[in-house]
Structures are given as C-alpha cells and as structure tokens.
Amino acid sequence: QQQVKQSPQSLIVQKGGIPIINCAYENTAFDYFPWYQQFPGKGPALLIAIRPDVSEKKEGRFTISFNKSAKQFSLHIMDSQPGDSATYFCAASMNRDDKIIFGKGTRLHILP
Amino acid sequence: KAGVTQTPRYLIKTRGQQVTLSCSPISGHRSVSWYQQTPGQGLQFLFEYFSETQRNKGNFPGRFSGRQFSNSRSEMNVSTLELGDSALYLCASRLSNTEAFFGQGTRLTVV
C-alpha cells in the first residue's frame, strides 16, 4: 500500500531522444508526487512535482503525465542531453509535510 | 544561502560499534528527515524531527535513533552496527509544506 513502483531500472537513450520513466502507486491517500534527480556523490534534488488534480505539468524539458484513475504517473525528458544522465526517483507523499515514499530509481544514460 | 550540511561525508566502522551522524539544515528550516539509501532497497525513510520532536518514524529497528536540537541541527545514531547498515544516509530539511532539500549524505561502511 505504501509502495511506489518504478520502471525501468535502467535506460539508455541517444541524445535528443525522449526517455520515459513510469511509476505506479496503490495508496489513493497520496496527493503529492515529486520527481528527484540524483547525480553521483550528491543528494537527490527536486526536479518537478505534481498533484493529482492536474493531468500534466511541464517545467522546461521535463514533463510529468498523471493518470489518477490508473494510479500511474510518468516523467518525460524532451530533447535529452548527456548532462541529464543521472538516477531519477519518483516519489509520493500524503502532503508536502509527510514522509516521502520513493521508487527504487531509474539509472538514465544519455549517449552523446 | 548554505544548503543542508552532513558530516562526516565518509565513515568506516566495525560491526558492533555505534555511530553518530550529523545534519545541519538550511537556516530557518525546522523539519529534518533522515533516509537510508542502498542499491537494493533504494531510499527508505528513517524518521523526521520538527521543533525537537519526532513527528514521523519509518520501519527501522530501535538501533536507529535520532534527535534534534533547539537550533534545528539533528543527529542520527546507530548502535550495534551490522554489515547491512552500510549505506548512504541522507538528511533532508524543509520549511512547512515546501519541498525537501537533501544534503550530500554520509557514506557509512561497516566492516
């Protein structure tokens, strides 16, 4: 119930391609869905976040798509660059004050 | 402004020992959370402190404990270390109802 399932575990995409990372959850009490980006040797940093009353949110080249009925959400990276190579975590919490439940992460590599 | 600072960055301990990790949150942030990151389990929530009180707790054994001081700095203690406690321990701070900012973590190796 408290899990967030993330796929794929790893992803390799050519520069300019659109990597897509998918996540699913069970607990309908979750109402805040952030995505974090983590580079080696660094802590996770918030990339973009969405609430379930919105079906899509864009910030620069990053887009979250949210399907409330299916309890699924995904991250798309437009015009991906080698500098986007990192580990991406989807997450969920009951509100921004609550603990964050993370997916297992996707290691993304963008080929130059 | 300065980010979340965790010390030390790296630590090697022997099984059975205990360890204390430190986290200084961003100035003005009163909430501090701790997470354990391992390759197999990913990021798992340990506990959260707000105004010196534990507000939330994850599913970790009692060997894992924490505290928060009046200046919002937090410490995490692990007693009777096991090999499986080897991990990156991350601290995150935030203002009420805002995003969490993570530190760079403390890499703990238990041998």
Mean pLDDT, residues B53-82 taken together: 96
Q: Which residue has the higher pLDDT, A96 or B24?
A: B24
Instruction: Kindly report whether the peptide bond that precedes residue B61 is cis, defined as omega within 30 degrees of 0.
Output: no
Which pLDDT score is estimated for A2?
A: 72
Q: Where are the beta strands (DSSP E) in chain B?
A: 5-7, 10-13, 19-24, 31-38, 42-50, 53-57, 64-68, 74-78, 87-94, 101-102, 106-110
CA dihedral A55, A96, A85, B8 (to 10 degrees): 180
Residues B4, B25 contacting (CB under 8 angstroms): yes
Which pLDDT score is estimated for B44?
A: 93
* Per-residue model confidence as pLDDT tens digits over B8-18: 999 999 999 99
Please compute Rg for chain B using Cα positions: 13
Residues A103, A4 contacting (CB under 8 angstroms): yes
Q: Which residue has the higher pLDDT, B40 or B82?
A: B82
Q: Shortest Cα distance from B17 to chain A (angstroms)? A: 25
Q: Is A102 at the interface with chain B, CB within 8 A?
A: yes
CB contact (8 A) between residue A43 and residue B100: no
Residue B59's CB is within 10 A of a number of other CB atoms, namely: 8
Q: Which residues of B touch A51 (CB under 8 A)?
A: none
Q: Shortest Cα distance from A109 to chain B (angstroms)? A: 17
Residues A38, A45 contacting (CB under 8 angstroms): yes
Those of residues 11-30 in A touching chain B at CB distance below 8 A are none
Q: Which residue of A has its CA nearest to B39?
A: A104
Which pLDDT score is estimated for A41?
A: 87
Q: Say how far apart CA B85 and CA B32 lie, in whole Å.
A: 21
Q: Which residues of B touch A104 (CB under 8 A)?
A: 41-42
Given CA atoms B82, A102, A2, A19 in this order, what sign does their dihedral have? negative
**Taking 90 as the threshold, does the pLDDT of residue B40 lie above it?**
no
How does DSSP classify residue A82?
Answer: G
Q: Shortest Cα distance from A111 to chain B (angstroms)? A: 23
